[in-house]
Amino acid sequence: MYIRVNDTNLWYETKGTGQPFILLHGNGESREIFTVLITELSKNFSVYAIDSRGHGKSSKTNQLSYGLMMEDVASFITELKLEKPLLYGFSDGGIIGLLLASKYSDMLSKLIISGANTQPNGVKKSWAMLSQLYYLLTRSKKMKMTLEEPNISKEDLKKIHIPVLVLAGKNDLIKVEDTKYIANNIPNSTLTILDRETHSSYVVNSPKLYKIIKAFIENNQS
């Protein structure tokens, strides 16, 4: 279904009952990467899987930035009157989650991110070169954003005081030092680097992700 927030139309899927749980996908994807996760989470939560602006069924847009997408999610939470949702964000979705928890400290109850970076140079050199080539060939707004953003500072991370699980694959396209930088600067964070996993191998319609999230939530019951 569609909702009008922050001057754009977002498409989202909702399923289940209980505490709200928001899912945010990565660059060039849609909520469809979470089919398996939605099925499991919806047994205990009200799941809201959103297509970010310019992605999936949400409105195309001339304006695209992590800050704008973060404000979209903040408006979504406010418009639907969601009380202290949990949020899981993959890749770009993780960046949005960090920005949201940093700016709106009381909006979320817990945050799980995977494969997120704080700066464009947080991506491994080989992937950065491929991204640059892709942008030169396509002039994609989505790819241009990843080449110029995000710009998340140590001070931004230190403003996050909710429990945060920071995930990455051992063979992720994000530099391990940037993943550790995120975890080291969030006061109440847990870092897990997953052996034999890539950026998305344990995320995209994988049963592994639910088990990881479930364990984190159970260990951080408020």
- Rounded distance, CA 21 to CA 42, Å? 9
Walk along the chain (222 residues) and give the pLDDT tens digit of each residue. 999 999 999 999 999 999 999 999 999 999 999 999 999 999 999 999 999 999 999 999 988 999 999 999 999 999 999 999 999 999 999 999 999 999 999 999 999 999 999 999 999 999 999 999 999 999 999 999 999 999 999 999 999 999 999 999 999 999 999 999 999 999 999 999 999 999 999 999 999 999 999 999 999 876
Q: Quick one: which of 100, 102, 86 has its CA closest to 47?
A: 86
pLDDT score of 222: 61
Q: Provide the 8-state DSSP code for 123.
A: B
Residues in the chain: 222
pLDDT score of 189: 97
pLDDT score of 220: 86
3-class state of residue 201 by DSSP: coil
pLDDT score of 154: 98
Structure tokens at 133: 């080539």
pTM flag (> 0.95): yes
Q: Provide the 8-state DSSP code for 193.
A: E
Structure tokens at 135: 């942008």
Class of CATH domain 2-119+151-217: alpha beta
β-bridge pairing 189-198 and 86-90: unpaired
